[in-house]
């Protein structure tokens, strides 16, 4: 009996299995954050491929929250309307459409990875923009007071909270059933969480309570507009992997997860790192799973495990052993869009879980 292929019930949403496509930026919008045929085929294929949850890439809640000018966004009704055919298709395949709501903070205004992922300075290039940061210094590889970096004022923070709220409303209109707040990987909310990047002295910096205030405000706003019968996820970095300096670690993650549970968050999606180039993660298969497991054990909140999960049996063992409630798979779903079908075939031997159009391949 496969646990990976058992239903995950969260509020009124029934996820048909415990396998999710992890959010993965495609840097393929042309222009202005609108999805293209690429997004439709990319996400659609993975829905055909048997994922229980198909999550969009980091989707910017406002234009300056994009990592690159080609990132996906949801800051207007036009964006929501353009995403709707994708959510419809995912649902038609039996999957649950999810959206990751993101703000890239001081890691924004960069070229795409295949163009070097270097900052685009607005003074030099019209494609760039001023980026938001908790502190007046940029992403660590580019130190110093960068003129294109803006230390977030209280008004900026309030604007971002409202942008998240509006983005969640539009996501609902677009047909998404799960909203995930991106608070990991060194982007805006994580930059506020970590003492390695948050050097503020106001009520958004210093103590744990102050550093977590912004993410709690965002989650509260999203939860207020996201219906009671639909789940909210939060992706966090369980640790910065910076043991040699004040930074974000698993103890703080456990404490935050417990606060998030109180705020009505249904699942914490536990990744790690991404904040600082000096990070020292162990890497390898399952390397982030112990972080998810600890949060689950110590808070009782449902967790997602991600990172280095490539084999059906490996994913099955994570769920069977009670280490996580959901397994998110990134690169293996790029290598094989039908990873979910392959896993179903190996673990559950259920040809009927294959799309009718493809069933002759397994009968
Ligand atoms: C990512 N990742 C990522 N994470 C996230 O939270 N939002 C995002 O938009 C992206 N974008 C992205 C793009 C690409 C091309 C890759 C490969 C990765 C991280 C991803 O969701 C996942 O956490 C990691 O890739 C680790 O899982 P795997 O790939 O080992 O299964």
Name the residue at shortest CA distance from atom 1 of ligand 1: 24
Whether residue 157 is predicted with pLDDT greater than 80 in this model: the reply is: yes
Q: Is residue 187 part of a domain?
A: yes
Whether residue 144 is predicted with pLDDT greater than 70 in this model: the reply is: no
Q: How far apart are CA 99 and CA 86, in angstroms?
A: 11
Q: Is residue 52 part of a domain?
A: yes
Q: How far is the CA of 328 from the centre of ligand 1 (A)?
A: 9
Stated pTM of the model? 0.98
Q: How far is the CA of 24 from the centre of ligand 1 (A)?
A: 5
Q: Which DSSP string corresponds to 49-79?
A: TT-SEEEEEEEESSGGG-SSTT--B-SSHHH
Ligand 1 neighbourhood includes 70 CB (under 6 angstroms): no
Q: Which of 27, 139, 187, 338 is catalytic?
A: 187
- CB-side exposure of 283: number of CA atoms within 13 Å? 2
Q: What is the structure's pLDDT at 282?
A: 95
Q: Is residue 2 part of a domain?
A: no
Q: What is the pLDDT confidence band of residue 180, given thresholds at 50, 70 and 90?
A: very high
Q: What is the pLDDT of residues 81-115, one digit of tens each?
A: 999 999 999 999 999 999 999 999 999 999 999 99
Atom of ligand 1 nearest to the CA of 306: 27
Ligand 1 neighbourhood includes 279 CB (under 6 angstroms): no
Q: Is residue 37 part of a domain?
A: yes
Q: Which whole number is the average pLDDT over 219-243?
A: 98
Count of residues making up the chain: 363
Q: Which whole number is the average pLDDT over 40-50?
A: 98
Using CA atoms, how far residue 228 sits from 164, 174, 269, 337, in Å, is: 17, 17, 20, 32
Ligand 1 neighbourhood includes 308 CB (under 6 angstroms): yes
* Beta carbons of 176 and 87 less than 8 angstroms apart: yes
Number of domains in the chain: 1
Domain span holding position 341: 8-361
Atom of ligand 1 nearest to the CA of 22: 21
Q: What is the structure's pLDDT at 136?
A: 82
Q: Is residue 1 part of a domain?
A: no
Alpha helices in the chain, H assignment, sequence order: 37-48, 77-92, 154-173, 188-193, 208-211, 213-225, 250-262, 289-299, 312-320, 331-335, 339-347
Q: What is the pLDDT confidence band of residue 151, given thresholds at 50, 70 and 90?
A: very high
Name the residue at shortest CA distance from atom 11 of ligand 1: 24
Q: How far apart are CA 215 and CA 308, in angstroms?
A: 27
Ligand 1 neighbourhood includes 242 CB (under 6 angstroms): no
Ligand 1 neighbourhood includes 67 CB (under 6 angstroms): no
187 carries an active-site annotation? yes
Q: How far is the CA of 25 from the centre of ligand 1 (A)?
A: 7
Percent above pLDDT 70 for the chain: 97
Q: What is the structure's pLDDT at 64?
A: 96
Average pLDDT, the chain: 95
Name the residue at shortest CA distance from atom 26 of ligand 1: 307
Q: Is residue 25 part of a domain?
A: yes
Domain containing 315 — which CATH number? Answer: 3.20.20.70
The helix (H) or strand (E) run that includes residue 113 is none
Q: What is the structure's pLDDT at 31?
A: 78
Ligand 1 neighbourhood includes 25 CB (under 6 angstroms): yes
Name the residue at shortest CA distance from atom 3 of ligand 1: 24
Q: What is the structure's pLDDT at 353?
A: 80
Q: What is the pLDDT confidence band of residue 28, given thresholds at 50, 70 and 90?
A: very high
Q: How far apart are CA 191 and CA 184, in angstroms?
A: 9
Q: How far is the CA of 363 from the centre of ligand 1 (A)?
A: 34
Q: What is the structure's pLDDT at 146?
A: 66
Q: How far is the CA of 224 from the centre of ligand 1 (A)?
A: 28
């Amino acid at each position: 009996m496969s646990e990976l292929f058992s239903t995950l019930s969260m509020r009124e949403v029934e996820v048909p299995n415990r396998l999710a496509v992890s959010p993965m930026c495609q840097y393929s919008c042309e222009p202005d954050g609108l999805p293209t045929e690429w997004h439709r085929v990319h996400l659609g294929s993975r829905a055909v491929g048997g994922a229980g949850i198909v999550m969009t890439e980091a989707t910017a809640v406002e234009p300056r929250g994009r990592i690159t000018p080609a990132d996906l966004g949801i800051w207007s009704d036009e964006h929501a309307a353009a995403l709707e055919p994708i959510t419809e298709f995912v649902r038609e395949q039996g999957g649950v459409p999810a959206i990751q709501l993101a703000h890239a903070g001081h890691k924004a205004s960069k070229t795409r990875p295949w163009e070097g992922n270097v900052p685009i300075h607005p003074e030099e290039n019209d494609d760039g923009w001023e980026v938001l940061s908790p502190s007046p210094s940029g992403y660590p590889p580019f130190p110093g007071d960068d003129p294109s970096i803006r230390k977030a004022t209280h008004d900026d923070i309030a604007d971002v909270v409202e942008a998240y709220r509006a983005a969640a409303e539009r996501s609902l209109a677009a047909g998404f059933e799960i909203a995930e707040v991106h608070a990991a990987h060194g982007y805006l909310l994580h930059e506020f969480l970590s003492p390695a990047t948050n050097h503020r002295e106001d009520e958004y910096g210093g103590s744990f309570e102050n550093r977590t205030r912004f993410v709690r405000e965002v989650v509260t706003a999203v939860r207020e507009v996201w219906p009671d019968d639909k789940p909210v996820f939060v992706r966090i970095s369980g640790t910065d992997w910076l043991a040699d300096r004040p930074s974000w670690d698993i103890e703080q993650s456990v404490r935050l997860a417990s606060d998030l549970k109180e705020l009505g968050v249904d699942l914490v999606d536990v990744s790690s790192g991404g904040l600082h180039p000096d990070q020292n993660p162990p890497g390898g298969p399952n390397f982030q799973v112990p972080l998810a497991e600890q949060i689950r054990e110590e808070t009782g909140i449902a967790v997602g495990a991600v990172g280095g999960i490539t084999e059906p049996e490996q994913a099955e063992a994570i769920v069977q052993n009670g280490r996580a409630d959901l397994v998110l798979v990134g690169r293996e779903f790029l290598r094989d869009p039908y990873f979910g079908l392959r896993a179903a075939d190996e673990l559950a031997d259920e040809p009927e879980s294959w799309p009718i159009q493809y069933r002759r391949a397994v009968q």
